[in-house]
A and B are shown apart, each in its own frame.
Chain A
Amino acid sequence: MTKLTRRQFTLLGATALASAALPVFSFAQNGGKPKVVVIGGGAGGGTVAHQLASDAGDALDITLIEQNEEYTTCFFSNLYLGNFRTFDSITHNWDALTAMGVKKVTGKATGIDTSAKTVQLDDGSTHAYDRLVVAPGIDLIYDSVPGYSEADSEIAPHAWQAGPQTKLLKEKLDALEDGDQIVMVPPPNPYRCPPGPYERVSMMAHVLKEKGFREARIVILDPKPKFSKQGLFSEGWEKEYPGMVEWIGPDIHGGIKNVDAKAGTVETDFDTFEGALLNIVPAQKAGEIATAAGLTDDSGFCPIDAESMRSTMDENIFVIGDACIAGDMPKSAFSANSQAKVAANAIRADLTDARKFPARYANTCWSLIATDNDVKVGAQYAPADGKITSTASFISQTGEDPAIRAANYDESVAWYEAITKDIFGSA
């Protein structure tokens, strides 16, 4: 087996430190290793911790603060709904990172004192940092959907944060009978995984079709006039699930007026839709800790410097993943993983003798429409005009060779294996 032996970065010399135009580090006073604290162990935070532990583990003290004991990936959770994956196969933990020397603290970060450079946890403990990475993902704005609430998500799941919600949606999907209707309300922009709602509809349709249902229907009541990979999904639904999926945009339904989770109805200007299953995905904002620490702007997300992923609000803090404003990049696990590498490079350059290289980012999102019918969209990005800007991109074509669609699926499976290793240190 191939073993990549990475170079180990060491601390900056005292003179280099003194001359660097950077604030005084706590380690310079107490003589210890510089401390990097990461809040959130998901696609972004896990990758940063893994990156730093791989090549600067001897020079840095790395702490990962994560509220959960395990992590179920939202990516491929639609494939779990569609019976292409088991729940176990999309659930991971941080044991491999711990074995590499990352200190995993299980707890919820409740506050950041940016002048003392400490993170407070719900158990009252504090953790000092020289550099802090904030990667809490998203929080849902439940009341952005009239009538919907967090309590209602136990009846009408969003399943936009993976775990129990994903299992609940799967149970409800599997319990449907022929003739039943699913009503999905996708979120408004910006939200995590732009093609996600439509891949989900495809996977739910796949399950209904496999059961031989002829009368079951899926209605999408979209707050957006158009959506990601629209041409590809529309073509795919028509081909794979004729007559089953109906997408209704805001110019027709006129806006969501009320969701009654208990009654199973979604009221719009146009009509009231009944569903044996309601899948309601509200609007989104950066994870609460980012707001609590004053890292967000009016948009509810965190502005960053496109060259480094450093917060524009605080030079000792980096914000990566869904919580940040990443210009042209979509909110995806691939993006979070890519941003983590730029942040890790900047942190290494701040704290060790490593070189800083120009920021470059990438993303690819695969979406499964049906067995062996997988479409993809992707791009390269670089900083330009003060934001992360797309420099090259591609998207799958309608009517393309089925062999390409099948190869796309195999690619996505290989990607999942690789990226989860890159986030968690092992599969």
Chain B
Amino acid sequence: MIDLLARKALAWAIVLFAVSDRAFASDEIDYGQVEIAIAAVGEVTADLDYGEYLAGECVSCHAVDGPKQAQIPAIAGRNREALIRAMVEYRTGFRKNKVMQTVMTTKGNEEIAALAAWYAAKER
């Protein structure tokens, strides 16, 4: 019972996070273009060692097990496709957060694929 409640709370926390940066989401961006960019990342073979190295940057704010503050969510163990989508949404400026948009401007498809694969491979 407690376990179920805890899981529900966790699920809600994730939903709420998704809303928080998406609350600032752009309506000027053609989501079709975002979908094309996401598909392009899916074509790339992920280099896990590279992902581990790049993840060093993420850990400075997201921590390894995720901070208690929902404003910066835990990302380890999340679904690979969802991670790619979030990163591309920031890179294209669909999701609005200045830190994340700037972080993603320097991440090409290879970097996004590597990061998503590495984070998705972590146990939650």
Contact = CB atoms under 8 A, between A and B. Distances in A.
B76 A4 contact: yes
Interface in B98-121: 98-99, 101-103, 105-106
A411 B24 contact: no
Interface of A: 1-7, 51, 334, 337-338, 341, 345, 355, 357, 360, 362, 364, 376, 378-380, 382, 391-394, 396, 404, 407, 410-411, 413-415, 417-419, 421-422
Nearest to A396: B98
Interface in B25-65: 49-50, 52-54, 56-57, 59-65
Nearest to A337: B60
A305 to B, nearest CB: 18
A421 to B, nearest CB: 5
Given A3-B65, A355-B53, A378-B99, 7 more contacts: A376-B99, A379-B102, A380-B105, A380-B106, A404-B24, A414-B67, A422-B63
Contacts of A413: 69, 71
Contacts of A357: 49-50, 53-54
A2 B122 contact: yes
A411 B71 contact: yes
Given A345-B53, A404-B24, A422-B59, A362 B103 contact: yes
Contacts of A4: 64-65, 76, 122
A83 B13 CA distance: 28
A415 B53 CA distance: 19
Given A360-B106, A393-B102, A411-B72, A2 B59 contact: no
Given A3-B123, A418-B72, A392 B67 contact: no
Contact of B65 (A1, A7, A380): A1
11 contacts: A2-B74, A7-B52, A334-B60, A357-B53, A380-B103, A394-B101, A410-B71, A411-B71, A415-B72, A417-B63, A417-B67
Given A341-B57, A415-B60, A378 B122 contact: no
B67 A362 contact: no
